[in-house]
């Protein structure tokens, strides 16, 4: 039988997609947001979804999903809003946010389910967060050998610049975070061959913003293949960008065909929030293009009943499946090489 896995704070299923591709059976997933859970269920029908607050879940319910089997792998991405760089405004301390404490729920599930291996993914600044230190020390007490580092997913075949923290742990032997694979993929590799928005039958590829005439004219004047708002004549500078030091320089910027994309965020369908304009077409990238840049397969389902802003948010918040797969394959090999059945 395949190795078993549980996905905590699963979102729409980016982590789980990689775990499944690596050969695991994801028996249970936990996600509080109803829309993300709906998208997850649409793509992972054999996984039992707990669409509820993780703090109210009795882990004995998860044990029932295992049907007496050992839990081989527990993975999760505890919400990171309170200690992300943007929320902290680049300060070293975390913003007070009750979601910060959900990392302790990740620990509770490990204590009570006793998985053989674990993975946690998060923003790089979590490494300086006091509760991370508490969790790390407790995991060592529980017998887990840990390895963690800050990586950039572009080193793992993801066509996107995205720095993340990843930690692996095992209570059966030494385990290491998998180093970059050396595979390089670009924006062109990810979305260069996708069908046109005019001809597509894919509703996700038709999700992109329409703009007022003034903004649309500005977008049409931004140089193709990597141009940005700073390339425009002064008369196209928006009032909100005229003050020194205000805003991010990448807003209203185009992606570059033969480079990786900027980080795909929950604002990926709003060019005022980042470099999210198509390399040559006079529009923002579509939700499908954003998902492809996150390495979701082109047939990944985002139900039409979900509001567009929520689709953008779940795509931007997801762990790229390609990166998840690489790390999960390392965990699978670790278990197999130690003779775990």
Q: Give the CATH number of the domain where residue 257 resides.
A: 3.90.120.10
Are both 57 and 139 inside the same structural domain? yes
Q: Is pLDDT at 136 greater than 90 in this prediction?
A: yes
How far, in Å, CA of 200 to CA of 128, rounded?
45
Are both 113 and 20 inside the same structural domain? yes
**Residue numbers of the domain that contains 27:** 4-180+320-337
Are both 122 and 242 inside the same structural domain? no
- Give the distance from CA 275 to its chain's centroid: 18
Residue with tokens 């003050």: 243
* pLDDT band of 1, cuts 50, 70, 90: confident
Are both 237 and 327 inside the same structural domain? no
* pLDDT band of 251, cuts 50, 70, 90: confident
The helix (H) or strand (E) run that includes residue 107 is: helix 103-113
pLDDT tens sequence across 84-101: 444 444 444 444 556 578
Are both 191 and 303 inside the same structural domain? yes
Q: What is the mean pLDDT of residues 205-213?
A: 96
Are both 46 and 108 inside the same structural domain? yes
How far, in Å, CA of 47 to CA of 55, rounded?
20
Q: Indicate which residue of 12, 77, 80, 268 is catalytic.
A: 80
Cite the beta strand spans of the chain per DSSP E.
Answer: 4-8, 25-30, 48-50, 73-76, 117-122, 145-152, 163-170
Q: Is pLDDT at 65 greater than 80 in this prediction?
A: yes
What is the total count of domains within the chain? 2
Q: What is the mean pLDDT of residues 31-51?
A: 98
Angle between helices 321-337 and 14-21 (to 10 degrees): 40
Q: Could you tell me which of 257, 258, 314 has the C-alpha nearest to residue 291?
A: 314
Six token digits for residue 166 = 């990843």
pLDDT tens sequence across 183-203: 999 999 999 999 999 999 999
Q: What is the pLDDT of residue 290?
A: 98
> Between the CA of residue 132 and those of 135, 162, 244, 290, what are the distances in Å?
5, 21, 37, 30
Task: Tell me which of 251 and 73 has the higher pLDDT.
Answer: 73
Running DSSP on this structure, what letter comes out for residue 90?
A: T
Q: What is the pLDDT of residue 177?
A: 98
Q: Could you tell me which of 98, 95, 118 has the C-alpha nearest to residue 108?
A: 118
> Between the CA of residue 287 and those of 14, 199, 202, 307, 324, what are the distances in Å?
15, 16, 10, 12, 21
Are both 215 and 149 inside the same structural domain? no
CATH number at residue 172: 3.40.50.150
Are both 103 and 148 inside the same structural domain? yes
Are both 200 and 303 inside the same structural domain? yes
How far, in Å, CA of 6 to CA of 50, rounded?
11
Are both 154 and 43 inside the same structural domain? yes
Residue with tokens 């829309």: 35
pLDDT tens sequence across 141-165: 999 999 999 999 999 999 999 999 9
Are both 310 and 324 inside the same structural domain? no
Are both 214 and 253 inside the same structural domain? yes
How far, in Å, CA of 32 to CA of 45, rounded?
17
Q: What is the pLDDT of residue 238?
A: 54
Running DSSP on this structure, what letter comes out for residue 272?
A: G
CB distance 94 to 123 below 8 Å: no
Q: What is the pLDDT of residue 40?
A: 98
Q: Could you tell me which of 111, 3, 7 has the C-alpha nearest to residue 319?
A: 7
Six token digits for residue 247 = 């805003």
CB distance 316 to 266 below 8 Å: yes
Q: Is pLDDT at 315 greater than 50 in this prediction?
A: yes
Active site residue 12: no
């Amino acid at each position: 039988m395949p190795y078993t896995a549980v996905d905590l704070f699963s979102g729409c299923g980016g982590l789980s997609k990689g775990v499944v591709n690596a050969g695991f059976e994801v028996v249970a997933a936990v996600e509080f947001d109803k829309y993300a859970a709906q998208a997850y269920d649409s793509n992972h029908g054999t996984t039992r979804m707990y669409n509820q607050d993780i703090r109210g879940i009795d882990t004995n319910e998860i044990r029932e999903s295992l049907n007496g089997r050992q839990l081989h792998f527990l993975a999760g991405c505890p919400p990171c809003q309170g200690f992300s760089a943007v929320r902290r405004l680049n300060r070293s301390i975390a913003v007070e946010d009750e979601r910060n404490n959900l990392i302790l729920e990740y620990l509770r599930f490990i204590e009570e389910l006793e998985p053989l291996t674990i993975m946690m993914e998060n923003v790089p600044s979590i490494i300086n967060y006091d509760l991370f230190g508490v969790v790390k020390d407790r995991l060592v007490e529980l017998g887990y050998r840990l390895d963690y580092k800050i990586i950039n997913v572009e080193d793992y075949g993801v066509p996107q610049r995205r720095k993340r923290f990843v930690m692996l742990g095992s209570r059966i032997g030494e385990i290491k975070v998998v180093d970059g694979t050396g595979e390089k993929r670009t924006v062109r590799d990810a979305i260069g061959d996708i069908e046109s928005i005019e001809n597509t039958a894919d509703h996700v590829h038709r999700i992109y913003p329409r703009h007022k005439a003034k903004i649309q004219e500005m977008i049409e004047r931004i140089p193709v293949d990597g141009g940005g708002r700073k390339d425009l004549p002064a008369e196209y500078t928006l009032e909100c960008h005229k003050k020194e030091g205000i805003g991010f320089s990448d807003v209203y910027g185009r992606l570059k065909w033969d480079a990786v994309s900027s980080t795909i965020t929950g604002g990926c369908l709003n060019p005022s929030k980042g470099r999210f304009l198509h390399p040559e077409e006079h529009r923002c990238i579509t939700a499908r293009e954003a998902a492809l840049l996150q390495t979701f397969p082109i047939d990944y389902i985002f139900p039409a009943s979900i509001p567009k802003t929520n689709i953008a948010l779940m795509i931007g918040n997801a762990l790229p499946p390609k990166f998840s797969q690489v790390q999960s394959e390392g965990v699978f090999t670790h278990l197999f090489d130690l003779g775990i059945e």
